[in-house]
Amino acid sequence: ACREHGIRALVYTSSPSVVADGSNLRGVDESRPYPDRYKAYYPQTKAIAERAVLAANSDRLKTCALRPHLIWGPGDTNLVPTILSKAKTGRLVQVGEGQNLVDLSFIEDCVEAHLAAGESLLAHDARAAGKAYFISQGEPVKMWHWINEVLKRNGVHPITKRVSFRFADTAALFLETMSRLSPIPFEPPLTRFLVSEMATDHYFSIRAAQRDFGYQPRFSIEEALDITFPRVLADSSQRRLFAVGL
């Protein structure tokens, strides 16, 4: 379709999950290969699409793929709303010790990354053409600490319930098996892929994106939190002023 309409550059939004195999991913770069098998359809189909986009790179159509991890920020309709919904109904449980480090991708920086990659594809040397790139804030955080900070800024109690990785992984395998065997298909509420995402380290090197098309995150995690939840911050400021009699 791009070629038919004379489109010269295509930036595909992929995912770091295309290289996920359930193990810890600590500072890995784009040399990390695709795994032989996937634990869920989401990373599998993302990988299929990413391969297709990169294979389509040519002189007529320059392509690349970006792999932002856990996109969030103002207007988020997925990550933060899901966290808040599950926490409010008591369905969010910490998996593992809660010390696992993850990358986050603030939406403003994701947009800048896509624009910069697109401009690079249209440049004379097109350094990004035919390549995939990890995108994040470059500032790994303890996932469950960040989740609890999001909850606190939205007036929701922090997560106190915890289960071991082994227990959650076994439960997920049981639910996946039941889903496959059931005469009435259903989406398992917990999968082994989700368990590994909640309990393992997964943060990535963004050096290639910095080198090839000048990507540089502009916002820290703290700044992103302040931008995403301004009303909560305003309410907190008013309470502090009231407390000191102003």
Residue ranges of the domains in the chain? 9-231
Question: Yes or no: is domain 9-231 CATH 2.30.140.10?
Answer: no
Residues (pLDDT < 50) of the chain are 232-246
Q: Cβ neighbours of residue 163 under 8 Å, at least 6 residues apart? A: 93, 94, 95
User: So what's the pLDDT on residue 1?
Assistant: 82
Q: Is 11 exposed, middle or buried (0-12, 13-18, 19+ CB in 10 A)?
A: buried
User: So what's the pLDDT on residue 241?
Assistant: 41
Q: Are strands 9-13 and 132-135 parallel, antiparallel or unpaired?
A: unpaired
CB 202 within 8 A of CB 27: no
Of residues 38, 42, 203, 215, which has the active-site annotation?
42
Distance (Å, rounded) from C-alpha 107 to C-alpha 113? 10
User: So what's the pLDDT on residue 235?
Assistant: 47
User: So what's the pLDDT on residue 232?
Assistant: 45
What sign for the dihedral angle of Cα 150, 83, 20, 58? negative
User: So what's the pLDDT on residue 245?
Assistant: 43
Catalytic residue at 12? no
